[in-house]
Structure 1
Amino acid sequence: MMDPHTSAQDVMRCDLCETSVVQMHCDTCLVNLCTACVGKHMISDESKDHKVVKFQARKSTPLYPGCKFHYKELCKMYCNQCDIPVCHKCIGSDQHLGHKVSEILKVVDERKNKFMKEQTELNETIYPTYQDIASDVQNRMSQLQKEYGDLSTAITKHGEDWHREIDKLVKKLKAEVDEMKNTQLQTLQKHLDEINKTMSDIKDEIDSMEITKDTNDFSKLFSVTSKVHTYRNLPHKIIPFLPKFIPGKIQVENLRKLFGALPSSSLTSDKHGYSMKTTQKSPEAGSSPPVKQLLDEPETVTTIDTGYRELYYVACLSDEEIWTSGNDKTMKLYSINQGSLLKSITTKSGNRPSNIAVTESGDLVYTDYFYRTVNIVKNEKIEEVIRLQNWGPKGVCSTSSGDLLVIMDSDDNIQTKVVRYSGSTEKQTIQFDDKGKPLYSPCSRYLRYITENKNHDICVSDEKAEAVVVVNQAGKLRFRYTGHTPAPMKHPFCPLGITTDSQSHILTADFDNNCVHIIDQDGQFLHYIDCGLRYPLGLCIDTNDNLFVAQWRNKQVKKIKYLQ
């Protein structure tokens, strides 16, 4: 038989007698009572105002907070200005004179409704989002384990390849030693054979003389011809030359370079990396930018003459103003609508800029390859942000997170890399693919252009490789775009200036074909823009997705509309 006090299926019992069925509830003390125990409970603590109701109506009695300033008074109102519950005596005091006061029950209902909405948001949107984030992090950790395992395997395999090649080299060198030894031994053996023969001849000569010198037959004596004078000419002395093994000096740093480099790993934090899960009950969630279609025939909106002998770079300051740079030390700000020069800035070193960009806050950034600096212009004053050693900075762009991406060439002209900076602090280096091969072609004489896509991919135009190289935010190669045929001028792809738009399209200037390629974020060709371009170099996009093209030959910037 079930114990009525422990059975989960038994009805609820009175908290006082623990035997009778619950019929009442004290909302003040939160105690369950039977009818018989109500009186006993009421006199158990006469200091409290016990609110006893039917069990079905429990928690229906409002429990007003006691006033902190007036003894035994209950706060049934709420001062909106002071944001605290108040009693009727508080309302009449000077402390709350003129303040807006509401019934506390109304404020409680509003707060409960707010909590219900927030609870719904936590349950249906925020918590599921965090679940997805946790799953994403776990997947990244699993993938990281696999990729680092693959990395270690690749290094081990490369080491085995090296060991095999070293074994082959050792075997070849030892074979060469054996060949040289055998050649020299054969030569010495032949020489020894000749000496032994001569010694035999000398012995015969001695014996012949011994017989002849004691003879009385003078005819025999005169018939013997001595060869002593021949033997006085001693043979040449053959001295073998023993080659000495000169081991190459093992320089660990050079050995590491020859074996293969392992660039430093990095972890970046992107405040825009996760997005809240969207549901019908959370209309506040962000939306994607509106889809814009490509025009069948892009059109030139306006043309700006810059006055440079050669024009290289253009950067949008706003929808009304653009910065330009060319073959001299001056960077010029132009009005787009008026085509007039608004401002000129001269580089600190007197060198021409190696590239220009505009930060999220509207400051001009330029690189100085020969001075090895990255500089920022604030209030027309130039500040040196980054100074490099053994590297020359070329292309530069400002990211959505406020970082700077700089592509640079080594002084020995054999390495190229992209470095991410937060201020003057290096955060990330991008130089090699998963197989340890360089991502970018080294060549200091080429112009360098770089941009960040809306999906945080890093896009670089590699003129020497005739490709656009796109890596993700972590620096992993996504794809290489090598052009599209037929090209307008039927020349090889010559990518230079590069930019992106709100649709995550990647646009790159094809210098030799006098056009701009439009590709999607996955590297698929979409369209050409020509519009009578003459050797396009620098590119930039304004907030309305208008394209600006810096033309090297005619020193003009063209504003082109290519999206609907």
Structure 2
Amino acid sequence: MMDPRTSAQDVMRCDLCETAVVQMHCDTCLVNLCKACVGEHFSADLSKPHKIVDFKDRKSTPLHPKCKSHDKEQCEMYCKQCDIPVCISCLESNQHLGHELSKILRVLDEIKEVITKERNELNDKIYPTYQDIASDVQNRMSQLEKEYRDLSTAITKHGEDWHREIDKLVKKLKAKVDEMKNTQLQTLQKHLDEINKTMSDIKDEINSMETVIDNNDMSKLFSVTSQVKRYRNLPDKVIPFLPKFIPGNIKSKELGKMFGVLSSSSLTSDKHGYNMKTTQKSPEAGSSPPVKQLLDEPKTVTTIDTGYDRLYNVACLSDVEIWTSGSDSIMKLYSINQGSLLKSITTKSGKIPYDIAVTKSGDLVYTNYFVSDRTVNIVKNEKIEEVIRLQNWKPKGVCSTSSGDLLVIMNSDDNKQTKVVRYSGSTEKQTIQFDDKGKPLYSPSSLYLRYITENRNLDICVSDSDAKAVVVVSLAGKLRFRYTGHTPAPKNKPFYPQGIATDSQSHILTADIDNDCVHIIDQDGQFLCYIDCGLSYPLGLCTDTNDNLFVAQLENKQVKKIKYM
């Protein structure tokens, strides 16, 4: 049986007699009492001013804190300067003379108001926001499960495609074996038939000779013509030689590259990713881009004729407009959909721009490489402003970063050094030139174009054509990897990287001018695939916000828009 005095269904009992129903409450001692036990409670401790109230009004009497300096005193005032409760004895001792004092009950009300506001904020804003965050994380986990399933399915499907191709190859090789076997067997059978016929002729010859020998007719003996000499010339020996199957050397690393590679996964934190419940989630929340797959067969969407003698560069102003530059001093803005010329800007120096880029705010940036005008310039409202002027260095490639900085790759005047410099406006913020061992990251050059771009993970990517490599360093300038091409290349020529771009998946794309293709590698330098689409001398590259690729082709002066994801 359950004890009725402790049952959750039972009414509350007096803390003293433990029998009668609670009717009163001592707010001083926080004790529940029946009316009969009130007197006993008073007499138990006469040193306290017991505050007895109806049970329903319990805890309505504020409990004054005891003074730390005077044990038997209660604090009824609050010293704001010392930020402590004080009693009458404290005040009489002149310890707080001249200090601002308040009644402790008023301070209590102020504190309660602050706590109430904070409780309401926790209850109405912060906790619901965390509920939304938890729901968001759960949704991301569910989406992640689905996307990883899709990824595994894609790998399985690719494996099945490989199995089918291997089955076809095995079937083809076995058919070739059967064909070779049948050819050799037919040759041997023909040879055997000839031998059997000769053997039959020899038997006839033997029988004929035996008949003559046993015959007494001399005229028949004189008429015998022996064929022994002919039969002494034995036939050639036909020796079949079997073909050998020489299996290819299976190297798991190379096989893995041929089959396909898996780019690295990552997790990033965005401290601005969530807002409080009172507003909608910020657009940056969940800023990880949707996972896109590379197309098996990239497609040319449109081609734009630019009219240059030689076309060098292309830069996306938007998803519908591109800037181009080539072998003269004019930079041209084209409509992508119409292919029409919208605007032309002539460089301030009248010389060929080495490279062009577009800033976050949509302004055109270009570099002048010539010794007489070693500058980086920006075009705002069709007016050209000089941003950077170099001494003893010549600017080559330029790009605008996600933070609004400019990255410029440059050569020394004597062409013995190459470095990357980060600028905020015209202020130099960072120089990247050597690795941890003090060796140059980039090869010196005066002859070839150099291109630079920033990846989504803030890596800095440079096409170093002299070194036949793409050099990738971290935001801090530490070498991450060098990509030196993939074999076999479409035309089996050495890797010769030129234009470079990145996309929403942190892929790195670089134009291989001698092989008439574009290499796609992941953010860790693993080769993924080639894009050719009938390209001819691809040079400058850029991508738009929808991950379309634009390729500036040197000789035919055309820009190709290619869908590859």
Q: TM-score range by the shorter chain?
A: 0.5 to 0.7
1:118-517 equivalences under 5 Å are: 118-213=118-213, 215-278=215-278, 305=348, 309-314=352-357, 324-327=366-369, 330=374, 332=376, 341=386, 343-345=388-390, 352-358=395-401, 360=403, 364-366=406-408, 375-376=421-422, 380=428, 382-384=430-432, 394-397=451-454, 404-406=458-460, 421=474, 423=476, 447-449=499-501
| Other structure's SS at 2:32 match | strand
Which deviates more, 112-121 or 221-230?
221-230
Structure 1 residues 9 and 148 mapped into 2: Cα distance closer, same or farther (>3 Å)?
A: closer
CA distance in 2, matches of 1:331, 1:232: 96
Q: Which amino acid aligns with 2:499?
A: L
CA distance in 2, matches of 1:49, 1:145: 66
Q: Which amino acid aligns with 1:273?
A: G
| Other structure's SS at 2:241 match | coil
CA positional deviation for 1:82: 3.8
1:102 matched residue in structure 2: 102
Write out per-residue CA displacement over residues 59-100 of structure 1, whole angstroms, 9 at most, x where no aligned residue: 222212122233323333333344333334545768656544
CA distance in 1, matches of 2:264, 2:507: 20
Structure 1 residues 359 and 146 mapped into 2: Cα distance closer, same or farther (>3 Å)?
A: closer
CA positional deviation for 1:287: 8.3
Structure 1 residues 49 and 345 mapped into 2: Cα distance closer, same or farther (>3 Å)?
A: farther
| Other structure's SS at 2:102 match | strand
CA positional deviation for 1:451: 8.1
**Contact 1:308 1:327 (C-alpha < 8 Å) held by counterparts:** no
| Other structure's SS at 1:64 match | coil
Write out per-residue CA displacement over residues 158-190 of structure 1, whole angstroms, 9 at most, x where no aligned residue: 223322332232222222212211211111121
| Other structure's SS at 2:172 match | helix
CA distance in 1, matches of 2:405, 2:551: 28
CA distance in 1, matches of 2:101, 2:480: 54
| Other structure's SS at 1:305 match | coil
Q: CA RMSD in A?
A: 5.4
CA distance in 2, matches of 1:167, 1:510: 38
Q: Which amino acid aligns with 2:274?
A: Y
Structure 1 residues 322 and 242 mapped into 2: Cα distance closer, same or farther (>3 Å)?
A: closer
| Other structure's SS at 1:354 match | strand
Identity within the alignment, %: 52
| Other structure's SS at 1:169 match | helix
Q: Which amino acid aligns with 2:453?
A: V
TM-score w.r.t. the length of structure 2 is 0.62
Q: Which amino acid aligns with 1:18?
A: E
Q: Which amino acid aligns with 1:107?
A: V
Matched length = 447
CA distance in 2, matches of 1:326, 1:142: 51
CA distance in 2, matches of 1:372, 1:261: 32
Q: Which amino acid aligns with 1:265?
A: S
CA positional deviation for 1:237: 1.9
CA distance in 1, matches of 2:479, 2:75: 59
CA positional deviation for 1:510: 10
CA distance in 2, matches of 1:258, 1:110: 72
CA distance in 1, matches of 2:357, 2:97: 63
CA positional deviation for 1:133: 1.2
CA distance in 2, matches of 1:194, 1:509: 71
**Contact 1:25 1:54 (C-alpha < 8 Å) held by counterparts:** yes
CA distance in 2, matches of 1:6, 1:196: 117
CA distance in 2, matches of 1:173, 1:507: 41
CA distance in 1, matches of 2:165, 2:429: 57
CA distance in 2, matches of 1:358, 1:124: 40
1:85 matched residue in structure 2: 85
Q: Which amino acid aligns with 2:119?
A: Q
1:112 matched residue in structure 2: 112
CA distance in 1, matches of 2:176, 2:133: 63
CA positional deviation for 1:50: 2.2
CA positional deviation for 1:215: 4.8
Write out per-residue CA displacement over residues 453-478 of structure 1, whole angstroms, 9 at most, x where no aligned residue: xxxx97999999999x9x9xxxxxxx
CA positional deviation for 1:10: 6.4
CA distance in 2, matches of 1:143, 1:125: 27
| Other structure's SS at 2:147 match | helix
Structure 1 residues 71 and 385 mapped into 2: Cα distance closer, same or farther (>3 Å)?
A: farther
**Contact 1:314 1:325 (C-alpha < 8 Å) held by counterparts:** no
CA positional deviation for 1:309: 2.3
**Contact 1:79 1:99 (C-alpha < 8 Å) held by counterparts:** yes
Structure 1 residues 380 and 8 mapped into 2: Cα distance closer, same or farther (>3 Å)?
A: closer
CA distance in 1, matches of 2:365, 2:81: 51
| Other structure's SS at 2:355 match | strand
1:486 matched residue in structure 2: none
Unaligned runs of at least 5 residues, structure 2 = 285-341, 444-448, 482-494, 523-538, 560-565
2:39 matched residue in structure 1: 39
CA positional deviation for 1:40: 0.9
1:519 matched residue in structure 2: none
**Contact 2:455 2:508 (C-alpha < 8 Å) held by counterparts:** no
CA distance in 1, matches of 2:256, 2:99: 76
CA distance in 2, matches of 1:267, 1:497: 26
Q: Which amino acid aligns with 1:52?
A: I
| Other structure's SS at 1:112 match | helix
Write out per-residue CA displacement over residues 409-433 of structure 1, whole angstroms, 9 at most, x where no aligned residue: 798999999x8955357999xxxxx
CA positional deviation for 1:366: 3.6
CA positional deviation for 1:243: 0.6
Structure 1 residues 160 and 122 mapped into 2: Cα distance closer, same or farther (>3 Å)?
A: same
CA positional deviation for 1:354: 3.2
1:67 matched residue in structure 2: 67
CA distance in 2, matches of 1:274, 1:161: 43
| Other structure's SS at 1:332 match | strand
Q: Which amino acid aligns with 2:398?
A: N
Write out per-residue CA displacement over residues 282-316 of structure 1, whole angstroms, 9 at most, x where no aligned residue: xxx99889xxxxxxxxx99x998366521523566
**Contact 1:495 1:508 (C-alpha < 8 Å) held by counterparts:** no
